[in-house]
């Protein structure tokens, strides 16, 4: 019986797997950055995920499903976090007149304060990255284009399963 030998992975596959690990670490670091900013300004009533949810909601008035499709939120987490944000006064919700099962949400004035805080944090980071040249090689626009292509591929893979 011939000896089984491990199939070596291509360098592209290795680079893709490394990219996935970096992406996962970046997401965790993003949550830590938001957490640290909120600790710095003395806000302890929100989780970083809730703050990002508020940031991503912005000026929109959407359903929970629409919000879920915009960000990196799991279904039950969106519902739970929206409920908490309503209770804390950051988000206003109301039933749709056309479909009473559907609830639309939007930021309150208090929610806008949080959104502005996160937007300012991101603006400071963008400025620092710009000044350091990190966003130049490769250009961040090219990186974003590549990630959008990966995103489209993943979406197609999910749709193909069903």
Question: In which element (H, E) is residue 105 found?
Answer: strand 103-107
pLDDT at residue 79 is higher than 90:
no
pLDDT at residue 99 is higher than 80:
no
For residue 47, what are its two tokens?
A: 């989780």
Where do the domains of the chain lie, and which CATH numbers do they carry? 12-161 (1.10.10.10)
Task: Give CA angle at 159 (156, 162), nearest 5°.
Answer: 150
119 vs 154, which has greater pLDDT? Answer: 119
Determine the pLDDT at residue 68.
Answer: 74
pLDDT at residue 143 is higher than 90:
yes
Residues 15-36 have pLDDT tens digits of: 999 999 999 999 999 999 999 9
Q: pTM for the full model?
A: 0.83
């Amino acid at each position: 019986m011939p000896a089984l030998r491990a199939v070596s992975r291509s360098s592209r596959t290795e680079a893709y797997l490394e990219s996935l690990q970096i992406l996962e670490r970046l997401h965790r670091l993003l949550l830590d950055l938001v957490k640290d900013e909120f600790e710095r300004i003395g806000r302890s009533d929100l989780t970083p995920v809730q703050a990002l949810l508020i940031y991503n909601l912005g000026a929109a008035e959407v359903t929970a499903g629409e919000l879920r499709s915009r960000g990196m939120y799991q279904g039950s987490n969106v519902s739970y976090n929206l409920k908490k944000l309503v209770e804390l006064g950051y988000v206003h919700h109301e039933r749709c007149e056309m479909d009473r099962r559907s609830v639309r949400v939007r930021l309150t004035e208090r929610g806008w304060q949080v959104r502005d805080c996160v937007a300012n944090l991101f603006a400071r980071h963008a400025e620092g990255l710009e000044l350091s040249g990190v966003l130049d090689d490769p250009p961040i626009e090219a990186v974003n284009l590549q990630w959008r292509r990966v995103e489209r591929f993943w979406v197609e893979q999910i749709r193909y399963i069903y």
